[in-house]
Amino acid sequence: MDLEWVDGGVTAPPGFLAAGVRCGLKSKGRDLGLLGSPRGCAAAGLFTTNTMPGWPVVLSREILAECDKVAGVVANSGVSNVATGAAGLAAAKEMSSAAATLFADLWGSDERPALVAQTGIIGEVPAIDRIRSGIADAGLSLSEDGGPDFAEAIMTTDTVPKSRAVRLEIGGSVVTVGGAAKGAGMIAPNMATMLAFLTTDAALTPDAARALLVPAVNESFNRISIDGDMSTSDMCLLLANGESGVAVEPGAESGRRFARALAALCEALAVDLVRDAEGVTRICRVDVLGAASDDDAVRAARAVAESPLVKSALFGSDPNWGRLWMAVGKSGARADASRLSIRIGDVSVLETGTPKPEGKRLAAGPMGEPEVRITIDLGLGDGRAHFWFSDLTYEYVKINAEYHT
């Protein structure tokens, strides 16, 4: 079986239940979600590289370091629980405890910890009474069809929920991987990007889950940029309940097949985030080829993706390749002007350092497409990398001028 895309998001893998409810942390809409499995889950997580993270990041890191299995995760939108002092830490711990107790009571199991994820306004202590009430309400709504509601409950300035799932075959058995993500602004590489929750019915150890998660995230969520700002609260969690009975081991054929599915899911969710960026009118994928190393390719691609001048040109449908030249030059990647080539769509605008006479005129068409493709060949080696990014628009400025962060 090739990869088969299916509905359901985080509850597509058998054995996972989820819910999303409104508890009043936001002015409207669902704002609290529960996700878990009665079997318990092996878990792995990657977290923001921001040096001043929120309490949910601190607490969830500790839980993963200390526990082999978790019951699931409780997440809210509206309040991020960042810069909230001792009261905020107490609220995060109470949130985790309330969810863990609810999961144990519902499923008649030993109490396992619940991971915590929060996103929203910085500097406000979460209203724990509302959260406790929301956890109780969500417990009544937990179902195998609750994936879409969970995806909605984690949204902030997102305009649509992001939810995906994929099936594959390993050793003659079907395995499913699901996911939900949010994040419309404060998106930059190195897992300072968003909230992402990945689920699977494969049987994984925590170490195996992390070994599979790291490369998938590096090639997807760490390859997108909306505004270059690193959030304080964001994370990517992988939960595996083993319901399928299919053991997956990194390095084995089972691990290679699972890794391809996980990478495809993460890439699809990452691009969904860029498509729903704040104020977005078009998006772009930049591929850097021919770099002296993969690291150099990443440096050059990131510099292009995060350049306000490049993003402004994207908004204006302006095939101004000089801004791409500039971004490569400032990136720190090894480059030789006489070897640099640039294509916008299928149009060559620069060939081994020499501008193409009709390049800009011909590139105006592909630069105005809803999804633009730019290819930069450094001509130095075999290193390559890609980034997805959005344009920088008037609406982006308006949204962030009016949103109290």
Catalytic residue of the set 193, 200, 232, 393 = 193
Cβ distance 376 to 324 under 8 Å? yes
In the structure encoding, which two tokens stand for residue 247, read together?
């053991």
The structure tokens 């997805």 sit at 388
Instruction: State the Cα–Cα distance between residues 229 and 189, nearest whole angstrom.
Output: 9
Residues 6+ apart with CB under 8 A from 322: none
Pairing between β-strand 32-47 and β-strand 114-121 as defined by DSSP bridges:
unpaired
Q: Hey, what amino acid is at 237?
A: L
Angle at 391 between CA 281 and CA 218, to 5 degrees: 115
Q: Is residue 193 among the annotated active site residues? A: yes
Calpha distance 368→363 (Å, rounded) = 9
> How would you class 400 by CB atoms within 10 Å of its CB: exposed for 0-12, middle for 13-18, buried for 19 or more?
middle
User: Residue 91's closest CA among 49, 44, 53, 124?
Assistant: 124
Angle at 383 between CA 379 and CA 386, to 5 degrees: 100
Q: Up-side HSE of residue 382: CA atoms within 13 Å toward CB?
A: 0
Going by their DSSP bridges, the two strands 383-390 and 224-225 should be labelled as parallel
Name the residues annotated as catalytic: 193
